[in-house]
């Protein structure tokens, strides 16, 4: 599949619902997928950081992707998140993702403590793109294997199957540099959760991030407002989303996203140990911030 207009806008990463023993609750997952579709999002990513993808065995990721593809039934593009260290394992997972119904990939660089050379990283993404046959978004999130704008642009120029990058650093300057220099036809998605409004205004092609997973309706509204040039309304919504993000962000972020989703009718499920659910004080902060977002949306309506 080409890097055509099907990849744009708000593409939430799903969470993975677990029971107390760490088993996946697939019925709850289907509810979440339907909730995302009904929220008006433009795609779905399964297996990323918010999904605790680093804890998923390949068979579990395959089952989640197949369940998502069946539930989506072609309504939205499905992107597979791949978080793994070796080129061989990454290629195997990406081939599996293609068979399971994914139309694109979101892939981290190797994330263990030893950083490969720039040439090795280029070869890593070349192997993934060529052997999987799917378009690849580089998930630029690993602190000790962080890819500079220059290296990202090099990969996108040398590897046609790499269609863009999901930029996950909080520094908006790095996102702006990417947007300034990116080759024609390539994509930059923002995961700078605190600055989604700024990212959209700068021209980011969309977002794949935690805030869209936790408050998809509001983030779709923000996207639509910016695309329509209604910046006063967008800025007001941004301020509420920033307060929401500040309530949400902590070490157990995927668990906090699950709690936020439960405020919107998604069954409340557990994270996989050793992650824990948020305490009562954080739950109150999240709920209060979410209710404030709803107040802004009602006022705009």
Q: Burial-class residue 273 by CB neighbours within 10 Å (0-12, 13-18, 19+).
A: exposed
Q: Where do the structural domains in the chain lie, given as residue ranges?
A: 9-229
Mean pLDDT calculated for residue range 4-19: 89
Mean pLDDT calculated for residue range 177-192: 95
User: What is the pTM assigned to this prediction?
Assistant: 0.94
Tokens of 227: 């695309």
pLDDT of res. 295: 66
Mean pLDDT calculated for residue range 147-159: 96
| Torsion angle of the four alpha carbons 215, 251, 22, 63, in this order, in degrees rounded to the nearest 10 | 50
Confidence class for position 170, pLDDT limits 50, 70, 90:
confident
- pLDDT digits 0-9 by tens, 239-278: 999 999 999 999 999 999 999 999 999 999 999 999 999 9
231 φ/ψ angles, rounded to the nearest 5 degrees? -75, -30
**Average per-residue pLDDT in the chain?**
94
pLDDT of res. 143: 85
Degrees (nearest 5) of the Cα angle 127, 131, 137?
Answer: 65
CA-to-CA distance for 150 and 124, rounded, in angstroms?
17
pLDDT of res. 276: 96
Instruction: Give Cβ neighbours of residue 69 (< 8 Å, ≥ 6 apart).
Output: 78, 100, 101, 102
pLDDT of res. 296: 52
146, pLDDT greater than 80:
yes
Taking residue 148's Cβ as centre, other Cβ atoms within 10 Å add up to: 13
- pLDDT digits 0-9 by tens, 77-109: 999 999 999 999 999 999 999 999 999 999 999
Instruction: Give Cβ neighbours of residue 284 (< 8 Å, ≥ 6 apart).
Output: none
Q: What CATH class has 9-229? A: alpha beta
């Amino acid at each position: 599949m080409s890097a055509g207009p099907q990849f744009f806008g708000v593409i939430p990463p799903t969470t993975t619902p677990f029971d107390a023993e760490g088993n996946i609750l697939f019925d709850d997952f289907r509810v979440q997928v339907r909730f995302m579709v009904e929220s008006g999002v433009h795609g779905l990513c399964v297996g990323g950081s918010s999904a605790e993808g680093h804890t998923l065995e390949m068979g579990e990721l395959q089952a989640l992707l197949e369940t998502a593809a069946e539930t989506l039934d072609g309504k939205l593009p499905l992107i597979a998140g791949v978080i793994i260290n070796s080129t061989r394992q990454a290629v195997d997972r990406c081939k599996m993702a293609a068979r399971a119904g994914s139309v694109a990939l979101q892939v981290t660089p190797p994330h263990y403590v030893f950083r490969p050379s720039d040439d090795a990283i280029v070869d890593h993404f070349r192997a993934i793109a060529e052997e999987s046959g799917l378009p690849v978004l580089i998930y630029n999130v690993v602190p000790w294997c962080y890819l500079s704008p220059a290296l990202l642009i090099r990969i996108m120029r040398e590897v046609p199957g790499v269609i863009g990058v999901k930029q996950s650093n909080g520094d908006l300057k790095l996102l702006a540099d990417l947007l300034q220099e990116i080759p024609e036809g390539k994509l930059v998605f923002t995961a700078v959760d605190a600055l989604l409004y700024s990212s959209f205004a700068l021209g980011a092609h969309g977002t794949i991030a935690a805030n869209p997973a936790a408050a998809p309706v509001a983030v779709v509204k923000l996207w639509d407002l910016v695309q329509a040039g209604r910046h006063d309304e967008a800025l007001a919504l941004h301020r509420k989303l920033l307060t929401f993000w500040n309530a949400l962000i902590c070490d157990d972020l995927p668990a906090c996203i699950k709690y936020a989703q439960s405020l919107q009718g998604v069954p409340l499920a557990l994270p996989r140990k050793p992650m824990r659910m948020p305490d009562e004080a954080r739950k109150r902060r999240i709920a209060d911030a979410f209710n404030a977002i709803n107040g802004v949306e009602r006022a705009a309506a």
